[in-house]
Amino acid sequence: MSTQRLTGIRTAQPSQDGDGVKIRRIHDFRGGLDPFLMLDELKASAKEDYIGGFPPHPHRGFETLTYILHGGLTHEDSMGNKGEVHAGDAQWMSAAHGVIHSEMPLLDSDGLHAFQMWINLPAHRKLEAPQYRDLRDAEMGHLNWPDGHLKAIAGHWQTSAGETTSSLAQVGEQAALADLQLQPSTQLDIHVPAGQQLLVYVYAAELEQGIKTGQLGTFAAEDSASVICLQASASETTGVLLLTGPALKEPIAHYGPFVMNTEVEIQQAMQDYQSGQLTARS
């Protein structure tokens, strides 16, 4: 068992998406976050900054996981699914062959604080049938100890405070996500499987490793299973999203809402969308 080292820090950049929703975004379609592609933080208290939501739009070739800290969202898609999630809940969708969906803020929400992660799919799964699931807070794994709380949103997590598992067994190919809160000046060891890097996004306060609010720290993959010690700052409770999974190590071709392996496949996705065949399955 080795200790992972911090190899980089990225700062989320202000952006807009959907119908003018203000977000902070970190993305890498060159494989630097493999198997993850993008992390959006949606945080707004003024209704005009989020109420337009994300009207109907297409996806192909990857999965999304949306996790709510405050407020709520409704979901409708071309599979016929309709769902509503509130604080503590999540929505998982595997776009795979193709989905057209919308995500709209609940009108009675007093502000919105949420995250959406894009998780890549391997080439042999990109044209599978799409799937969707609402995930309630009670269906996630919860680990409590005097110094903090870890919620397994997806997958299995092993720490120095214990282990916990979500009912959503994985996202993508054995990838996992968790929400961690640490009391001031406390620490937690995270066990990471061999060959996987750990991505750490701070959304409240900061970590002693120098990762501040709105920044993503990357801890290098090791050949052997690794342990990383996260230590909260002394000022206030630190909130962190944890992401890990085996790298796919495949070519990435990206254009807007489509993520495939080649430019030819991207062109096909665009043609299928324009002809109404994106969501059709033979």
Render pLDDT for 123-139 as a digit per residue (tens, 0 to 9). Answer: 999 999 999 999 999 99
- At residue 193, the pLDDT reads 92
- At residue 66, the pLDDT reads 97
- At residue 249, the pLDDT reads 97
Instruction: For residues 264 and 249, give the distance between their C-alpha atoms in angstroms, rounded to a whole number.
Output: 19
Which of 36-45, 104-113, 184-193, 243-252 has the lowest average pLDDT? 104-113
Tell whether the model's pLDDT for residue 282 goes beyond 60. no
Read off the tokens for 246.
Answer: 């085996």
- At residue 39, the pLDDT reads 98
Query: In which band, very low, low, confident or very high, does the pLDDT at 109 lie, cut at 50, 70 and 90?
Result: low
Q: Domain ranges for the chain, please list them.
A: 2-275
- The sign of the CA dihedral 204, 134, 23, 117 is positive
Long-range Cβ contacts of 24-33 (<8 Å, 24+ apart): 24/214, 26/201, 26/216, 27/118, 29/252, 29/254, 29/259, 30/252, 31/247, 31/249, 31/252, 32/218, 33/199, 33/218
Q: What is the average pLDDT value for the chain, to the nearest integer?
A: 94
Specify which residues 90 forms β-bridges with: 67, 135
Tell whether the model's pLDDT for residue 4 goes beyond 80. no
Per-residue pLDDT, averaged over 92-106, amounts to 95
- At residue 107, the pLDDT reads 66
Per-residue pLDDT, averaged over 203-211, amounts to 96
Specify which residues 175 forms β-bridges with: 171
Instruction: For residues 141 and 167, give the distance between their C-alpha atoms in angstroms, rounded to a whole number.
Output: 7
Instruction: For residues 99 and 86, give the distance between their C-alpha atoms in angstroms, rounded to a whole number.
Output: 23
- At residue 110, the pLDDT reads 76
Residue 31, judged by CB atoms within 10 A of its CB (0-12, 13-18, 19+), counts as middle
Q: Residue 9: which of 241, 242, 245, 215 has the closest Cα?
A: 215
Tell whether the model's pLDDT for residue 43 goes beyond 80. yes
- At residue 69, the pLDDT reads 96
Per-residue pLDDT, averaged over 4-26, amounts to 91
CB 84, CB 74: distance < 8 Å? yes
Tell whether the model's pLDDT for residue 117 goes beyond 70. yes
CATH topology of domain 2-275: Jelly Rolls (2.60.120)
Tell whether the model's pLDDT for residue 81 goes beyond 90. yes
Q: Is 34 or 224 the better-scoring residue by pLDDT? A: 34
Read off the tokens for 164.
Answer: 């916990």
Q: Is the pTM of this model over 0.85?
A: yes
Read off the tokens for 22.
Answer: 């203000």
Which of 35-39, 146-150, 218-222 has the lowest average pLDDT? 218-222
CB 8, CB 43: distance < 8 Å? no
- At residue 45, the pLDDT reads 82
Q: In what order do the strands lie in the sheet with 226-231?
A: 2-3, 226-231, 187-192, 156-159, 162-165
CB 134, CB 160: distance < 8 Å? no
Read off the tokens for 123.
Answer: 């080439």
